[in-house]
A = this chain, B = another copy of it.
Amino acid sequence: MPDSLSPATRAITIRDVATLAGVSVGTASKALNGRGKLRPETRERVTSAAEELGFRPNALARGLLSGRTFTVGLVTSDSFGRFSIPVMLGAEDALGAGQMSVFMCDTRDDPIRERHHIQTLLARRVDGLLVTGRRTEPRPSIGSDLPVPVVYAMTQSTSPDDLSVIPDDVGGGELAVRHLLATGRERIGHVAGPYRFLAARQRVAGMTKVLEEAGLPLAGGAPLHGEWSEEWGRQAADILLRAEPDTDAIFCGNDQIARGVAETVRERGRRIPDDVALIGFDNWEAMALASRPPLTTVDMSLGEVGRIAAEHLLAAIAGRPTSGGVETIPCQLVVRESTGPRRH
């Protein structure tokens, strides 16, 4: 029975190309890879034969031979969520430039699944692994004796031997408050995310540092910790404005909180930013732009986090490993209409 119609036709091999060009496979290989000494005309014959047949070398065979597959595994515990996606895009960018393909695996926060995925990826002989997460909290290392380099992005390993790349939340907090100070605010409050989040605590730390340098107290005395939600923003704004009616700026733990705060501030008849300036965190555009007014916010440069992590991984794969430790990527201030000078 003949190999029927279309989708089952055998793939083109270099032997087909060699035959069509009237040379041996070895010669064809050299011609296609620009190796060795060949008569230009021969090279040309092979090239066009390959072109004509639509030849694409079998990556499996190459990988088997060379020990390099030009693939990396991207293991995420964030179910491709809001934070890991920009990280992945940045990583894909850097890896794509290096001709690497990416295996994506979602662990659903399950250590068993994680181990299984890593085993599978190693069996596929990936050249390296990128581990991403949703939170910057330290997590257990995926292993210290793996046969390929590993870089953590948007999450950090508890092991100091591993390399982790995360956003600089402390710096982000500093950036936010410096901006508020620069626009003349002096009674600044802070509505934070849950205390159990490292990111929330670090943003507080950055803020505190800048306020202390400026010799200013925090409006309300202490940061208000709650959920990362608009609802919490609404509640907290109520609490804060009741306790400190002359608050003239509020730094919010994320954009959702900021949006909730904005609603309450407006409902209480204060103008933004004329009476109260507002700054968020994350630069989640769907939130920040739809808020009234659009939010000034801190962007964590997640694409950069992914890109840098991927570049470290590529370097390690190329035999130039970065030593272990945590690398933080600076945040960027994105100024919109919710901050500006006071107007009475």
Q: A80-B80, A92-B104, A256-B286 are in contact. Are A56 and B122 (CB under 8 A)?
A: yes
By a CB distance below 8 angstroms, the chain B residues around A48 are: none
Stretch at the interface among A145-153, A175-183, A214-222, A235-243: A145-153
Q: Is the CB of B59 within 8 A of A123?
A: yes
Chain A binding surface, main DSSP class: mixed
Q: Is the CB of A104 within 8 A of B106?
A: no
By a CB distance below 8 angstroms, the chain B residues around A101 are: 103, 105, 120-121, 124
CA distance in complex: A229, B291 (Å): 11
A33 within 8 A of B: no
Minimum CB–CB distance for A123 against chain B, Å: 4
Q: A101-B103, A125-B59 are in contact. Are A85 and B92 (CB under 8 A)?
A: no
A97 within 8 A of B: no
By a CB distance below 8 angstroms, the chain B residues around A287 are: 286
Residue of B nearest to A57 (CB): B123
Contact with B along A107-137 (1 / 0, CB 8 A): 0000000000001111111000000000000
Copies in the complex: 2
By a CB distance below 8 angstroms, the chain B residues around A71 are: 103, 124
Q: Is the CB of A88 within 8 A of B80?
A: yes
A89 within 8 A of B: yes
Size of the A side of the interface (Cβ < 8 Å), in residues, is: 50
Query: Which of B104, B105, B229 interacts with A290 by CB under 8 Å?
Result: B229
Q: A60-B60, A89-B106, A92-B106 are in contact. Are A290 and B231 (CB under 8 A)?
A: yes
**CB under 8 Å from chain B, chain A span 67-107:** 69, 71, 74, 79-80, 85, 88-89, 92, 101-106
A323 within 8 A of B: no
Q: Is the CB of B7 within 8 A of A149?
A: yes
Query: Which of B6, B123, B286 interacts with A56 by CB under 8 Å?
Result: B123
Q: List 6 contacting pairs A-B, 8 Å CB cutoff, sorted by A.
A: A7-B146, A59-B124, A80-B88, A85-B85, A88-B104, A286-B286
